[in-house]
């Protein structure tokens, strides 16, 4: 399947460059090994023929790179997997991507593999479905086309299984779990840099007056606060793309923090998927008389025996 798609993507990219429809192509670049894939911008057919690839290790979400690329002169062609399109939509909603400067082609995806284990990535096992929520064109070639099927209910339940396990722990047990995970953080900022929802012009952690700009954490307080603050900043905007965990060199399951926020928002305000469209307002960005009161935090904690 991937060989067929790769050939079709390559032909599409070369055709659009040759016709002048686009000035650049945002795609995946071959590395030394089959699993060593890097996002890259191509500007010639020669570069594409030599370095472009699409295989089961092309897990990188291309949306974040469009923040900068869509502001350059000339239109850019980008290839988006179904999950990527949610981040794409969310960034358009937040006016971070100039939509008219992007030509988006939706590509089929049967799940990406973890480069280390060779197994299907966790985020793909609980994928929201194969439907592209934003595109200019859907790829179809030689019997391979975009499925566009929705998420099934059984898979939806599995998505929050680990979060539910952590919720069931006592506060002390949960604290120890996260201390064990976050203690490995080296503050490389990879999670922040790759996250489509982290798109501020100046990040609070890059503020020279903050005292924590671009440095490794000096104590457990900094280790905790960096990730907790980041999780609060992307709450209601995170599409659960899983990029934070994918790029973490310490293998910290950072996506679980964001997934907890998503679960709480769904339970308190009704089901909401960030990036499902470009018009609706997120629950935390609007107000209705039916909104829950702050006391719900204590009520939920009491119902769960103080474990929330």
Q: What confidence score (pLDDT) does residue 213 get?
A: 63
Task: State pLDDT tens for residues 193-234.
Answer: 999 999 998 888 888 776 666 666 666 777 778 899 999 999
As a whole number, mean pLDDT of residues 249-274 equals 94
Q: What confidence score (pLDDT) does residue 192 get?
A: 95
Packed helices 255-269 and 220-234: angle between N→C axes, nearest 10 degrees: 40
Cα–Cα distance measured from residue 182 to residue 184, given in angstroms and rounded to the nearest whole number: 5
Position 303 pLDDT exceeds 60 = yes
CA-CA distances (angstroms) from residue 196 to 52, 79, 147, 269, 303?
A: 23, 16, 25, 23, 35
Q: What confidence score (pLDDT) does residue 286 get?
A: 87
Domain ranges of the chain: 1-145, 156-304
Q: What confidence score (pLDDT) does residue 215 get?
A: 62
CA-CA distances (angstroms) from residue 218 to 52, 81, 184, 224, 232?
A: 41, 39, 12, 11, 22
Closest listed residue to residue 44, CA positions, set 31, 25, 62, 29: 25
Whole-model pTM over 0.85 = yes
User: Could you tell me where the beta strands, DSSP code E, fall in 183-281?
Assistant: none
Task: State pLDDT tens for residues 92-146.
Answer: 999 999 999 999 999 998 899 999 999 999 999 998 888 899 999 998 766 555 6
The percent of residues in the chain predicted with pLDDT above 70, rounded, is: 89
Whether 132 contacts 114, CB under 8 Å: no
Confidence of residue 26 (pLDDT cuts 50, 70, 90): very high
As a whole number, mean pLDDT of residues 157-185 equals 93
Q: What confidence score (pLDDT) does residue 295 get?
A: 79
Q: What confidence score (pLDDT) does residue 218 get?
A: 62
Which H or E element spans position 67?
A: helix 66-69
Position 173 pLDDT exceeds 80 = yes
As a whole number, mean pLDDT of residues 267-286 equals 91
Confidence of residue 167 (pLDDT cuts 50, 70, 90): very high
Q: What confidence score (pLDDT) does residue 100 get?
A: 97
Whether 6 contacts 55, CB under 8 Å: yes
Give the DSSP letter of residue 122.
Answer: H
Whether 88 contacts 97, CB under 8 Å: yes
As a whole number, mean pLDDT of residues 41-68 equals 96
Confidence of residue 77 (pLDDT cuts 50, 70, 90): very high
Question: Hey, how many other C-beta atoms are within 10 angstroms of the C-beta on 201?
Answer: 6
Specify the long-range contacts of residues 267-274, CB closer than 8 Å, at least 24 apart.
Answer: 268/292, 268/296, 272/236, 273/86, 273/128, 273/239, 274/86, 274/90, 274/197, 274/236, 274/237, 274/238, 274/239, 274/240
The percent of residues in the chain predicted with pLDDT above 90, rounded, is: 66
As a whole number, mean pLDDT of residues 263-291 equals 90
| Average pLDDT of every residue of the chain | 89
Tokens of 119: 């197994």
């Amino acid at each position: 399947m991937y060989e067929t798609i790769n050939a079709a993507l390559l032909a599409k990219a070369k055709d659009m460059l040759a016709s002048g429809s686009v000035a650049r192509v945002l795609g995946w670049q071959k590395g030394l090994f089959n699993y060593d894939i890097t996002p890259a911008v191509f500007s010639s057919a020669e570069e594409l023929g030599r370095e472009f690839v699409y295989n089961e290790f092309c897990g990188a979400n291309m949306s974040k790179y469009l923040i900068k690329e869509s502001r350059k002169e000339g239109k850019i062609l980008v290839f988006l997997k179904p999950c990527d399109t949610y981040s794409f939509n969310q960034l358009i909603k937040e006016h971070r991507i100039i939509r008219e400067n992007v030509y988006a082609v939706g590509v089929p995806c049967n799940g990406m593999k973890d480069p280390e284990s060779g197994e299907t990535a966790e985020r793909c096992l609980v994928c929201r479905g194969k439907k592209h929520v934003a595109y200019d064109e859907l790829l179809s070639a030689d019997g391979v086309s975009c499925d566009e099927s929705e998420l099934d209910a059984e898979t939806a339940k599995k998505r929050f299984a680990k979060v539910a396990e952590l919720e069931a722990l006592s506060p002390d047990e949960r604290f120890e779990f996260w201390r064990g995970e976050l203690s490995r953080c080296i503050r490389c900022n990879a999670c922040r840099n790759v996250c489509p929802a982290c798109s501020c012009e100046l990040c609070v952690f890059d503020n020279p007056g903050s005292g924590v700009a671009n440095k490794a954490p000096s104590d457990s307080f900094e280790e905790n606060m960096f990730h907790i603050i980041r999780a609060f900043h992307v709450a209601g905007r995170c599409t659960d793309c899983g990029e934070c965990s994918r790029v973490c060199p310490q293998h910290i399951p950072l996506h679980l923090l964001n997934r907890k926020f998503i679960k709480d928002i769904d339970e308190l305000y009704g089901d909401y998927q960030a990036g499902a469209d470009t018009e609706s307002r997120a629950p935390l960005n609007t107000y209705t008389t039916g909104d829950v009161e702050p006391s719900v935090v204590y009520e939920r904690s009491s119902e769960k025996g103080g474990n929330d």
